[in-house]
Amino acid sequence: MPTLKRYIPLFLAGLMSACLDMPEIDTSTPQPDAGAVDTPDSGTPDLAVTITAPTGTFYTSGSVAISVDVRGGTPEVVRLFKDAVELATISAPYTYTWNTAAEPEGSYTLTARATRSGRTFSSAPVTVIVDRTNLQVSSRSPAPGATNVAYSTPIQVVFSKPVKATTVSDTTVSFAVAGVLAEKTLSLSSDGRTLTLIPKAKPPLPATFSIGLSSGITDTAGNALVIPSTPWSFELPHWYSFGGPLNAVGGSTLLKDTAMALDSRDNPVVAWSEEVTTGGRASIFVYRWDGNAFTPIGSALNGTPSGSAYKPALVLDGSGNPIVAWQESDGFNENIYIKRWTGTAWQSVGTGALSAQNDTSSSPVATPARNPSLAVHGNDVYVAWEEMNVEGFSSIYVWKSVNGGAFSGTGSRGGLLNAVYGDSSGTKPSLVLDSNGQPIVAFQEQTLEEYSPTNIYVMRLQPDNSWDYAVPPAHSYDDPGGYVSGGLSASTGATSARDCSLTVDAQNNLYLAWAEESYFDGPRDIQIFRSTGAQSWERVGIPLSAYGGRSYAGQARLQATPAGKLFVTWKEFDGNLETGREHLFASRWNNNSWSSLVASDGINQGMQNSLRPMLVIDSAERPIVAWHESREATDNAAGDYVYVRRYNE
């Protein structure tokens, strides 16, 4: 009996199998297909259907060559579908040419379907975009006809749609400098829409660049480029101009005394003195370049109700806000005034007028404070200036403000500096800070020798709060060693060194420029020295002068990059007494010689007289120069406009 029970289920299963006709179930996963229905076919292996051409998204303006690959067996029929509509039935080797000429422009989805034994297998879809619209130029940069193009400006053309990369080459894109073909590098953006051209070598400037595009450039569908009707050429000057002539008031108001600094984005901030009304009082104006134009920072600056402000000095604090110092008369005496831009308003630094001697109208003699020089370290603001005493001799003062508080003298003598012991005058300080924030100041001072020539002296604040020489020191007649003139001079004769400019690099090396005759009563040149020890200096190259004969160079400004790369600018009278002008020059030290960065007539070709140049170096080591143009060739003459230009590289 147990054996019989075991066979009953088997008997019932056989009986049911004989009575029911069950179809084969296809458990495979076919490719998605909106219009295909797989028909079951017992024991039929799957087919693998692939569109091998075109691949990906394909653009066309004409015919499309379609290829299909079928593996896993031989199909009974292969059909092509355009969206849900059958396009063609194809046979081995399963190729078809689809002429899209009659199709509307747009996107189409192609699929291939293979059928065998009642089952249908579909390929993955391929997108074909029919596009018969010509390729256009959407924009070109620099703009055609531009006349003030920076060499650093990318040369780019943006197309209306992606470009076929193989059609961009030296034969379809031309580049010429002053009409002569030049080598270039071409690169196409990842989206195929932006073409960038880079000259392989920088050509001499000024020059005109011309770029030609041919109809051989096509889009990915093969549509040819429509060549713009306006030729693409633009001019690169030797010196790029930040805007045009600059003044604050306009009309016939005169200005002078330019100052400049750079913000963190290499945008120049400039300050100058300008009459508020024609022939009236002068104020200090501060403007910032915003990338397109100079815009004013706050209102005009004065320290007194009616005095005129001159000789601005300018630095930027850690937030990029300008700090300005200047000299101004209160009707009796000249004092130094310092203000900081807070972001919304100008605010005094310290307690107001700054002077080492508190003169009043009852004082017998005024002791004017003049020629301020500024430096900033964190929240500490340093200012140096010259101030005359009641005996008529000038000394240098260096004072400091912490966190905007009252100024106090730096050093054991209340910030007072004289390099020569005796009745001599020190003037025109140039102040810098070393990497530790300690002040170093250079100035010119009389030597007490016959004719009282001036030498250049450099003094630095020591850790013990004393000031010490950074140049050979001077001694008085009472010194046991006898009088030694000390300081720096281009000659041992009675030549006067003047208008010094001090700069320092990241390694605390000092560099100094000034104007001086190389021999008595000779032409005036620019002299440049660098420190080689505690009180040792050596000349950097030969004296600089742009003209031979009796020309007069002056107002040198020197700047060093953190790595010690040197740039200098100066103005120079060309020596023509009847038609002569003051020209502006700039040079770069190339480790063993000075290399001029200007043409023969200077930066200001075709202009009037360039005076009071100021120099800064941007993060790309390009010099930027600001100055004002005057109708007169005298050192302190006023003019109509300020100009700001950058060496174009």
Reported as a pLDDT band with limits 50, 70 and 90, residue 172 is very high
E-strand spans in 574-636? 582-589, 594-596, 609-617, 623-630
- pTM (2 decimals)? 0.85
Q: What is the CATH number of the domain that holds 55?
A: 2.60.40.10
Per-residue confidence band for 484, with pLDDT thresholds at 50, 70 and 90: low
Same domain, 144 and 227: yes
Helix (H) or strand (E) holding 8: helix 2-19
pLDDT at 265 over 50: yes
Q: Work out whether strand 63-71 and strand 95-99 pair parallel, antiparallel, or are unpaired.
A: antiparallel
- Do 170 and 154 fall into the same domain? yes
Which of 200, 216, 237 lies at the terminal end of a domain, its last residue? 237
CB-based contact 628:606 (threshold 8 Å): no
Among the three residues 218, 237, 256, which one is the final residue of a domain in this structure?
Answer: 237
Instruction: Indicate whether 157 belongs to any domain.
Output: yes
54-77 average pLDDT score: 95
Q: Which domain holds residue 73?
A: 48-130
Q: What is the 3-state secondary structure (H, E, C) of 168-187?
A: CCCCCEEEEECCEECCEEEE
Grade residue 30 by pLDDT with cuts at 50, 70 and 90.
very low
Q: Could you tell me if 113 and 33 are in contact, meaning their C-beta atoms sit under 8 angstroms apart?
A: yes
Number of structural domains, the chain?
2
What number is the average pLDDT over the span 357-367? Answer: 71
Q: Which two tokens stand for residue 334?
A: 């000249």
Cβ 279 vs Cβ 249: under 8 Å: no
Q: Are strands 426-433 and 454-461 parallel, antiparallel or unpaired?
A: unpaired
Two tokens, residue 71: 């593996």
CATH (domain of 184): 2.60.40.1220
Same domain, 121 and 144: no
Alpha-carbon gap, residue 218 to 385, rounded angstroms: 67
Residue 554 lies in a domain: no
- Whether residue 120 sits in one domain with residue 179: no
- Predicted confidence (pLDDT) per residue in 229-249, tens digit: 999 999 999 999 999 999 999
Tell me the DSSP string of 469-509: ESSPPPB-TTSTT--B--SB-SSSSSPPPEEEEEEE-TT--
Instruction: Give the span between the Cα atoms of 199 and 186, in whole angstroms.
Output: 9
The two beta strands, 57-60 and 126-130, are parallel
Average pLDDT for 211-218: 98
Per residue in 106-165, pLDDT tens?
Answer: 999 999 999 999 999 999 999 999 999 999 999 999 999 999 999 999 999 999 999 999
Residue ending a domain, among 130, 152, 168, is 130
Return the number of other C-beta atoms located less than 10 Å from residue 22's C-beta: 7
CA distance 187 to 73: 46
pLDDT, tens digit (0-9, with 9 covering 90-100), for 617-644: 999 999 999 999 998 988 899 999 999 9
The band of 422, judged by pLDDT with boundaries at 50, 70 and 90, is confident
Whether 516 maps to a domain, the answer reads no
Cα separation, 78 vs 95, whole angstroms = 10
- Residue 469: per-residue pLDDT: 94
Residue 184 located in a structural domain: yes
Residues 141 and 231 in one domain: yes
CB atoms within 10 A of CB 523: 19
For residue 627, give every residue at least 6 positions away whose Cβ sits within 8 Å of its Cβ, in sequence order, or none: 258, 571, 584, 604, 610, 611, 612, 613, 614, 642, 643
Do 64 and 124 lie in a common domain?
yes
For residue 261, give Cα distances in angstroms to 249, 258, 337, 432: 22, 11, 18, 14
Does the residue 126 lie in any domain?
yes
125 in the same domain as 71: yes
Residue 44 per-residue DSSP state: P
On whether residue 477 sits in a domain, the answer given is no
Rounded distance, CA 125 to CA 110, Å? 6
The pLDDT score that the predictor gives to residue 477 is: 52
* Residue 201 maps to a domain: yes
Residues whose CB is less than 8 angstroms from the CB of residue 590 and which lie 6 or more positions away in sequence, other chains included: none
Structural domain contains residue 98? yes
Which whole-number Å values give the CA distances from 503 to 481, 591, 621, 647, in the listed order?
32, 17, 15, 20
